């Protein structure tokens, strides 16, 4: 440890050191010791604490820098608050159908928390396979407990991949009546459970049993659970949709690849068809 330079203290009242001067002297000597430890790299929290206390209470700082007795105080610098984050622009989904004043401008309204839209086909008329009727209409879904049902029996790889990898909770899908007298969109369902193995593929008694699937590993095929959101007052028929193939529905998968049982729908297509359903209900 380097030698400590002693400072002479002033005495009064018969040679006694006044308590204030004694306290200041002890703190000064203590400061030199603490400075040594700090310069040696031992910056423990108690060292820093005592240094701050000594400097603020007795105007004494270390020889390595800072304010000394007689030196003017530094101007306090006010800590500026961090700037508030720049507001992020809202998604077009959230303001769709609204003008700048917040009123509806007449364009189709879209759900605010949905990122994906789909179309799912089911057969609303009776068809018996292996002694079991595979009929499933939007009315059958409405009659289910909580209006919710697994969407099982899909045996197409592309449709399976959509349900397994792409469908998410909260997505909306058109319920499409297929393989019937008047095919078309009957309403809207919501995805309430994401893809999971379709156990019906392992059931020999099920109409869509797959003999190549092992009973302990049904993960070849997948399904989702859907819940009824809305039944349209009138079915939007396939013929009516085809009338817009050269316009708003020109790129719709249904009108270009009709056989796919589960397919994607763009937000604009979904909004347009919703508008068609609304106009039909008014009529």
- Tell me how far apart the 2 most distant CA atoms of the chain are, in Å: 120
Tell whether 79 is covered by a domain.
Answer: no
Domain interval for residue 153: 104-282
Q: How far apart are CA 266 and CA 27, in angstroms?
A: 76
In the predicted structure, residue 15 carries a pLDDT above the cut 60: no
Q: What is the mean pLDDT of residues 137-164?
A: 97
Least confident of 45-54, 125-134, 203-212: 45-54
Tell whether 230 is covered by a domain.
Answer: yes
Question: pTM, whole model, 2 decimals?
Answer: 0.60
Residue 121 and residue 28 share a domain? no
Q: What is the dihedral of CA 189, 190, 193, 194, to 10 degrees?
A: 100
Tell whether 6 is covered by a domain.
Answer: no
Tell whether 108 is covered by a domain.
Answer: yes
**With contact defined as beta carbons under 8 Å apart, do 266 and 211 qualify?**
no
Q: Please choose, from the candidates 115, 74, 73, the residue with its C-alpha nearest in 3D space to the C-alpha of residue 92.
A: 115
Residue 264 and residue 151 share a domain? yes
Tell whether 183 is covered by a domain.
Answer: yes
**CATH code of the domain containing 178:** 3.10.590.10
What is the per-residue pLDDT for 214? Answer: 72
Tell whether 205 is covered by a domain.
Answer: yes
Q: How far apart are CA 176 and CA 193, in angstroms?
A: 19
Query: What confidence tens digit (pLDDT) does each residue in 56-66 have?
Result: 444 444 444 44
In the predicted structure, residue 227 carries a pLDDT above the cut 60: yes
The first and second tokens of residue 69, run together, are: 């007795």
């Amino acid at each position: 440890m380097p030698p400590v330079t002693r400072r002479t203290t002033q005495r009064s009242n018969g040679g006694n050191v006044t308590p204030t001067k004694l306290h200041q002297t002890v703190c000064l000597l203590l400061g030199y010791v603490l400075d040594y430890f700090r310069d040696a790299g031992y910056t423990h929290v108690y060292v820093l604490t005592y240094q701050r206390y000594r400097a603020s209470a007795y105007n004494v700082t270390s020889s390595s820098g800072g304010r000394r007795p007689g030196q003017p105080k530094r101007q306090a610098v006010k800590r500026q608050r961090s700037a508030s984050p720049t507001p992020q622009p809202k998604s077009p989904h959230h303001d769709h159908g609204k003008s700048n004043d917040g009123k509806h401008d007449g364009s189709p309204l879209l759900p605010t928390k949905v990122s994906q839209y789909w179309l799912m086909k089911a057969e609303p008329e009776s068809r018996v396979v292996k002694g079991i009727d595979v009929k499933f209409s939007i009315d059958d879904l409405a009659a289910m407990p909580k209006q919710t049902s697994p969407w099982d029996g899909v045996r197409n790889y592309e449709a399976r991949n959509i349900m397994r990898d792409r469908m998410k909770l909260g997505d909306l899908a058109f319920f499409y009546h297929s393989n019937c007298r008047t095919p078309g969109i009957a309403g809207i369902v919501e995805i309430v459970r994401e893809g999971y193995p379709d156990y019906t593929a392992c059931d020999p008694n099920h109409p869509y049993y797959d003999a190549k699937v092992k009973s302990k590993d049904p993960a070849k095929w997948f399904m989702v659970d859907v819940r009824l959101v809305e039944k349209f007052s009138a079915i939007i028929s396939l013929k009516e949709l085809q009338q817009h193939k050269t316009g708003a529905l020109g790129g719709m998968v249904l009108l270009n690849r009709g056989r796919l049982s589960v397919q994607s729908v763009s937000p604009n297509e979904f909004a347009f068809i919703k508008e068609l359903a609304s106009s039909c209900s008014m009529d």
